[in-house]
Amino acid sequence: MTRIAVLKGGMSSERDVSLVTGAACAEALRGLNYDVVEIDVSRALWEQLKSVNPDVVFNALHGDWGEDGRVQGVLDMFGKPYTHSGVMASALAMDKHRAKHVLASVGITVPDGGLFDRLQIAKSHPLETPYVVKPNGQGSSKSVYIIHDDNEDQRAAIAGDTEMGERVVVESYIPGRELTVAVKDGEPICVTEIIPKGWYDYTEKYGDNAAEHVCPADLPDYVTTLCLDWAAKAHDALGCRGISRADFRFNDENCTPANVVNKIVMLEVNTQPGMTPTSLVPEQAASVGINFAQLCRWMVEDASWPR
């Protein structure tokens, strides 16, 4: 019987989400008669893996340390097949600022902006308002701020939000609709529109009153085609493996086939998308006839070493 170590939890600010992802995937894999051991990852990961001695490692971690190349480096050294992207793609995609340069180099439209000192933002606007301030190496929309005016309380909150790090990403605010595309083995699945009740933040993603997902999204064919093409292109350009997910903003005002490339902006690529009950990738897979257990099995069968 194949033994699978499911890595979950970890030490990032997204620990709670990872625990849910890991538990859901472990349950599905047990239902497929795999021998599953769940590991709440610590800095002693090497010893944790040695004690389990798995045939395959299923990486269900989220956030820094778990999906930024560091754990992937340990898994490369450990020498057993593992899921998702390897060191290079994980590190590059997690660095939002540098990933944008790669995406732009292959013709994908990305937001204007750059890296700025977090404390300096509290003193002066780095861009014309409105703009977005977010960590350079986190996901799940934690510590994301939309700046519309001289709100001193908001800028003070940014200055005090040490979890963001010293250097943060500042980008022009992109109005419009929230779209996302999952890519499986280099092939895009479909487009989902996310309709939040407010800003699509951590609560909207994972709370009980979460945002609505329209899957597949009701879009003109030329918009769907471009999103699918760009998601696959981003997956390839960053060197992703297994599953990835690309997130977009779409300004549909006066959009035509002639100007669509200026109306869709790719925000980021996630190399380890959530696999929680409300997550987007399982929904997209289900829309094309792949249930949750089948998706987890494919991820195990796709695992390899090195990545």
Active site residues: 14, 140, 206, 245, 247, 268, 270, 274
CB distance 106 to 237 below 8 Å: yes
CB-side exposure of 287: number of CA atoms within 13 Å?
17
**Closest C-alpha to 216, from 149, 288, 164, 264:** 288
Q: Is 50 exposed, middle or buried (0-12, 13-18, 19+ CB in 10 A)?
A: exposed
Is the Cβ–Cβ distance between 28 and 5 less than 8 Å? Answer: no
Token output for 183: 């890519």
> Where do we find the tokens 């200055």?
159
Tell which phi-psi region holds residue 277, choosing left (phi > 0), alpha (psi between -120 and 50) or beta: alpha
Rounded CA gap, 66 and 236, in Å? 21
- Picking from 17, 28, 23, 59, the residue whose alpha carbon sits closest to that of residue 41 is 59
